[in-house]
Structure 1
């Protein structure tokens, strides 16, 4: 049986045997077929899940916490102590984004050379130091310096983690893992509120104000965690020491068969860096640019909520410390919803439908908040805003990374998407200017949520059209050139990995 046909039978859900057959990659007709117990694959996956996800999840939780805890510090007296106006507070938020955005693509490209096992922990340690230093500033300008450095050092983390996960997981197993990592932002919001509430007891201790303790305590913990993980982050699936040789071989081969990972997983093709491949993510991947708008919209809503939710709740008439506690339940609900929605997205191999649903949930929350003056109704509307906004991002991020190959092209696409999200976040820092109702920000975020829903539908249709075109192209090539699995053929391993998502056999995730 030709290898291209054998690959269709991998992991059939109707198999009752405990042993599946791993198909050979096209071009490997003479290679032996490797019998694989599916339990080995599941065991390897679980080992990676329990090892990798908690580490990167904590990295991102600390990143989000250390970047957004300035919102809690504001309620705890930051702006009063430093004699800052609302405009100056927005400037302090804005200046974080400039280096954050600029560092994303360079760090993604550097990570391939230095390895995630070095790049990510060092970034965590350095920004933790800067976060703690915010607790020592005594002037507005000192705060600006710290915020700039914080943005520069955190800049490559989100894109680096996304790239790392896309290298470790199959395309349609990634969103659940990504959601586990990303949904810790919901926990970060909840944890930040609880921590800020608890730190009130430290206010005045050793002559240090409560808002300063927020930065010092959280920054010190970040440094400690970064140091603890310095030697534990794996660089690639092949380098994981806790997998057996059989588990490693099975897992890496699965990545190749799924058009996942980093192209050189089985050693048949070693990708070499080139600027033309980086540029191709813009010039030859229209779906990357089309996804830019929903990323921008999602960033505007997520970061707006992250920075201003304590202020919004406070404006509803609650005390500063009680406001911190009231931010916890919506984030907790968001965490659960993100995980559940991600599970179904992976199960049905679809991203666009859930991205649309999440955007509409957020839009409903903004519409209710805008149309009601009742404080309890407004607080309930925040649940919908947070749940919808935070659950949409894993859909968009995995949608983007699922549909771009090989490595450098994917690294660039991830950086472009994250740049869009952070540009939206930058804009959000200037929207919440009319308390207590914040109608300007609510109207804009409502428009963005509806725009995200509409654009997600359009992108889903685009991918389905492109997949139909690819299937027709495959039929044409089969008729004209045969199966093309031999060396130099159109469907050879080298061509698959060299072309990535441009190969006719590659089907886009819808």
Structure 2
């Protein structure tokens, strides 16, 4: 049986059974259930539409995520350029400043995803970007620890709706097994932000003394201003949805919508702008995939965040030169970006998610073993490459995995946001994994990240088994009782008997 059957490809006998039951009881079929006889979509035309979508969407969301990651993690670059000294930060105060970002970040994730559809993505996504850009700019002139905490809190509040919003946004343009590669294209901005951010910070820091400000202040100010400018420009180019994309012809807009409906990830009610339904929210909360993938993501994001925030600190133990430290951080991030794209490409090609997490995570485990056990700077530096290659691909993969297995819109919106909210709680662990008292070896931090990656691998294996089992149950007709719900007007989404889970 094919991995994914769509409503368009329903077995005719089952459709007739539903129609007969409806006729017997005097009921009517829901408008969301389409009994279609259309010809398949022209693959050449569909490929043309995909290229247009890629060209007009991916560069903008890449920029959004690149600048978001730079603006949240540039505090690591600022730390080694005078931030902690000028603000007189002691003990774990720097770590607290990192952690408070995620308090507001987590709080806004679910509400932001639920309002995204109504708030118009082309306004909402660039709008929150402008907000955090302003906050980031003002962070360059804070004069105290308390001021830094306030700035980081509001930075998290504006950034909190972005990642879940981007995943949800892309799912309204791309088929389920086209999604991860597009997520991978923009998510490479995370590791690249480390590479680009390190180069940028080393250059901006040379402005120290201008206007009476140290280098760390200029890092925040310049990067914040760039974010605001990019956000304003994006408003004029980002489309809201495929049905209103001005760069598509009328025919292409129609096909762009139809192909998503045929894929089973979008329903006609979704496209028609059906109102909020509490039942769809509950189905995300009650879904095993939501909690399993959130656990995996929690375990993956702990090393990702600690790596992004503390790599300059770790590399500082290799050399006394601040500029050299910034530059040493570039190559591991570039390798991480290549790993993300490679994994995303093959994951979409083979329509598998969990297996690729199980394949890349051991590389991260090996990297942290080298960092934990070796005292040789060269060996430890190799460890940072393996860690980057192993940890960064898992994040977009696990996000796309859950998005693939949830439908319709508000179920997917709730599930992806809940997954992110739970996963981002890992930040409260990550921001305290590398503390000053553990320098220069930072063995505790390396051991924590190693442990979480091992747990991520085990839970991923369990999630793969669960989805294989669920598909076998559906293949054997074990969910056929739900056909009765179709005639009652239910929008079943992922619960539909013909829906197959991505493994």
TM-score (norm 2): 0.91
Q: Judge conservation of contact 1:111–1:119 (CA < 8 Å) in 2.
A: yes
Runs of 5+ consecutive residues of structure 1 not aligned to the other structure: 10-24
Q: Judge conservation of contact 1:253–1:266 (CA < 8 Å) in 2.
A: no
Greater RCO between the two (CA within 8 Å, min separation 6)?
Answer: 2
- The answer for the alignment partner of 1:468 in structure 2 is 472
Please, which of 376, 382, 405 is the counterpart of residue 380 of structure 1? 382
Matches within 5 A, 1:162-177: 162-177=167-182
Please, which of 459, 470, 474 is the counterpart of residue 463 of structure 2? 459
Q: Judge conservation of contact 2:8–2:262 (CA < 8 Å) in 1.
A: no
Matched, 1:103 2:96: no
For residues 174 and 439 of structure 2, the distance between their equivalents in structure 1, rounded to whole angstroms, comes to 44
Q: Judge conservation of contact 1:96–1:150 (CA < 8 Å) in 2.
A: yes
For residues 164 and 111 of structure 1, the distance between their equivalents in structure 2, rounded to whole angstroms, comes to 8
- The answer for the alignment partner of 2:306 in structure 1 is 304
Matched, 1:88 2:93: yes
What do the CA deviations read for 1:72-116 (whole angstroms, capped 9, x no partner)? 000111000111014110110111110000000111111121111
- The answer for the alignment partner of 2:401 in structure 1 is 399
For residues 411 and 476 of structure 1, the distance between their equivalents in structure 2, rounded to whole angstroms, comes to 26
Q: Judge conservation of contact 2:10–2:498 (CA < 8 Å) in 1.
A: no
- The answer for the alignment partner of 1:436 in structure 2 is 440
Using the TM superposition, give the Cα deviation of residue 117 of structure 1 relative to its aligned residue in structure 2, in angstroms: 1.3
Q: Judge conservation of contact 1:299–1:422 (CA < 8 Å) in 2.
A: yes
What do the CA deviations read for 1:104-162 (whole angstroms, capped 9, x no partner)? 01111111211111110110111100000011111111111111110111110111101
**SS of 1:473 mapped into structure 2:** coil
- The answer for the alignment partner of 2:55 in structure 1 is 50
Runs of 5+ consecutive residues of structure 2 not aligned to the other structure: 12-31
Using the TM superposition, give the Cα deviation of residue 394 of structure 1 relative to its aligned residue in structure 2, in angstroms: 1.1
Please, which of 56, 64, 67 is the counterpart of residue 59 of structure 1? 64
Using the TM superposition, give the Cα deviation of residue 341 of structure 1 relative to its aligned residue in structure 2, in angstroms: 1.0
For residues 381 and 240 of structure 2, the distance between their equivalents in structure 1, rounded to whole angstroms, comes to 43
Matches within 5 A, 1:254-273: 254-261=259-266, 263-264=268-269, 267=272, 271-273=274-276
For residues 479 and 284 of structure 2, the distance between their equivalents in structure 1, rounded to whole angstroms, comes to 26
- The answer for the alignment partner of 2:337 in structure 1 is 335
Matched, 1:184 2:186: no
Q: Number of matched residues? A: 477
- The answer for the alignment partner of 1:123 in structure 2 is 128
Please, which of 452, 457, 463 is the counterpart of residue 448 of structure 1? 452
- The answer for the alignment partner of 1:359 in structure 2 is 361
Cα 1:86–1:169 change in 2 (3 A) is farther
Matched, 1:281 2:284: yes
Using the TM superposition, give the Cα deviation of residue 319 of structure 1 relative to its aligned residue in structure 2, in angstroms: 1.7
TM-score (norm 1): 0.89
- The answer for the alignment partner of 2:161 in structure 1 is 156
**SS of 1:77 mapped into structure 2:** helix
Using the TM superposition, give the Cα deviation of residue 460 of structure 1 relative to its aligned residue in structure 2, in angstroms: 0.3
Cα 1:262–1:98 change in 2 (3 A) is farther
Matches within 5 A, 1:206-285: 206-261=211-266, 263-264=268-269, 267=272, 271-283=274-286, 285=287
What do the CA deviations read for 1:312-332 (whole angstroms, capped 9, x no partner)? 000223422111000000111
Using the TM superposition, give the Cα deviation of residue 7 of structure 1 relative to its aligned residue in structure 2, in angstroms: 2.9
- The answer for the alignment partner of 1:12 in structure 2 is none
For residues 479 and 302 of structure 2, the distance between their equivalents in structure 1, rounded to whole angstroms, comes to 43
Using the TM superposition, give the Cα deviation of residue 246 of structure 1 relative to its aligned residue in structure 2, in angstroms: 1.6
Cα 1:96–1:475 change in 2 (3 A) is closer
- The answer for the alignment partner of 2:17 in structure 1 is none
For residues 353 and 335 of structure 1, the distance between their equivalents in structure 2, rounded to whole angstroms, comes to 19
Range 216-225 or range 274-283, more displaced? 274-283
Cα 1:382–1:470 change in 2 (3 A) is same
For residues 419 and 454 of structure 1, the distance between their equivalents in structure 2, rounded to whole angstroms, comes to 21
Task: Say what the alpha-carbon RMSD is for the aligned residues.
Answer: 2.1
Q: Judge conservation of contact 1:116–1:235 (CA < 8 Å) in 2.
A: yes
Cα 1:152–1:258 change in 2 (3 A) is same
For residues 90 and 7 of structure 2, the distance between their equivalents in structure 1, rounded to whole angstroms, comes to 67
**SS of 2:276 mapped into structure 1:** coil
- The answer for the alignment partner of 1:509 in structure 2 is 502
For residues 39 and 494 of structure 1, the distance between their equivalents in structure 2, rounded to whole angstroms, comes to 35
Matched, 1:195 2:188: no
- The answer for the alignment partner of 2:35 in structure 1 is 28
For residues 104 and 475 of structure 1, the distance between their equivalents in structure 2, rounded to whole angstroms, comes to 32
**SS of 1:170 mapped into structure 2:** coil
Cα 1:99–1:385 change in 2 (3 A) is same
